[in-house]
Amino acid sequence: MSAPACTPAELMVVNAARLLREGDVVLVGVGLPNLACNLARRLHAPGLVMVYEAGVIGAQPERLPLSIGDPCLAVGALSICSMYELFAHYLQRGLISVGFVGGAQIDRYGNLNATVIGDYRRPKVRLPGSGGSMEIAAWADRVYMMAPHRRRRFPARCDFITSAGFLDGRSSRRARRLRGGGPAAVVTDLALLEPDAQGELTLVALHPGVTIEQVQAQTGWPLQVAEDLRTTQPPTREELETLRALDPQGVYLG
């Protein structure tokens, strides 16, 4: 029996959802992270608490929110606080176990660029900017990223570091005494990358049918491969059905 076919987005979301644990308090972004959290809540982590940087704690959205400030997040939530309180009392204080961040570039040490391509003052491409990702990357216990695996998205060094991964390696992050543990995994449509002992993103698992060479070809630095390189389990029928019911129009899943 072969695995059901799925889109690259579905593959990423299912694999990201599997990283979430029962009881995690997750600072959710819109789009794919939101789907991953909702999927995990419906499957193995019903007690996962979804927190949104707009100040919503314990959201139970009845529909897929387009923005992180959608009215469906407020209805029936456990608590709503101000943005200042969200960042201070939850994130800076240390109540957030998982944060998702996203951007245009992820580099060798898991640093993220969501600000500009090119020079900051004379940008080639002006991106939306940090939002909360500067703080999320610094202070959440574990940080996850999802991105299509393309060479321009995985440079050796970001043009601009919007939020800190391991900077120049674990010791440099450690020297900054940030409370969060930094990037725990990057989920792409080809593979899973995790930081090694030095904080360098390393190939730890390939999605079914993908080769090391394909991943290396789309990665801007010489990619280390874990000794126990795994192959991810293909998405199950249950995972895909549950996921597709969350985005019936395929807004994010393609």
Which residues from 205-224 bind other proteins, rule CB under 8 A?
Answer: none
Q: What minimum distance in Å lies between the beta carbon of 228 and other proteins?
A: 28
Task: Considering only the stretches 113-121, 209-217, 229-237, 239-247, report the one whose residues sit in contact with other proteins under the rule CB under 8 A.
Answer: 113-121
Which residues from 11-70 bind other proteins, rule CB under 8 A?
Answer: 22-23, 25, 30-31, 46-49, 53-58, 60, 62-63, 65-70
Which residues from 178-197 bind other proteins, rule CB under 8 A?
Answer: 178-179
Q: What minimum distance in Å lies between the beta carbon of 87 and other proteins?
A: 4
SS3 118: strand
Q: What minimum distance in Å lies between the beta carbon of 53 and other proteins?
A: 6
Q: What minimum distance in Å lies between the beta carbon of 208 and other proteins?
A: 30
- Nearest to other proteins of 31, 234 (CB atom): 31
Helix axes 32-42, 237-246, angle to 10 degrees: 120
Residue of 6, 11, 91, 253 that binds other proteins (CB under 8 A): 91
Residue of 12, 27, 77, 215 that binds other proteins (CB under 8 A): 77
SS (H, E, C) 187-253: EECCEEEEECCCCCEEEEEECCCCCHHHHHHCCCCCCCEEEEEEECCCCCHHHHHHHHHHCCCCCCC
Which amino acids are annotated catalytic?
53
The residue type of 217 is: A
Residue of 72, 212, 225, 226 that binds other proteins (CB under 8 A): 72
Burial 204-218 (b: 16+ CB within 10 A, else e): bbbbeebeeeebeeb
Residue 101 DSSP class: E
- Nearest to other proteins of 87, 223 (CB atom): 87
Which residues from 144-173 bind other proteins, rule CB under 8 A?
Answer: 160-164, 167, 173
Question: How many residues are listed for the chain in this entry?
Answer: 254
Task: Say if residues 149 and 215 touch (Cβ distance below 8 Å).
Answer: yes
Size of residue set near other proteins by CB under 8 A: 79
Q: What minimum distance in Å lies between the beta carbon of 240 and other proteins?
A: 21
At a CB cut-off of 8 Å and minimum separation 6, what does 55 contact? Answer: 80, 81, 82, 83, 85, 86
| Closest to 189 (Cα-Cα) out of 149, 225, 152, 219 | 149
Q: What minimum distance in Å lies between the beta carbon of 223 and other proteins?
A: 24
Residue of 27, 134, 147, 204 that binds other proteins (CB under 8 A): 134
Task: Considering only the stretches 85-93, 192-200, 203-211, 231-239, report the one whose residues sit in contact with other proteins under the rule CB under 8 A.
Answer: 85-93
Task: Say if residues 242 and 13 touch (Cβ distance below 8 Å).
Answer: no
φ/ψ (deg, to 5) at 201: -65, 125
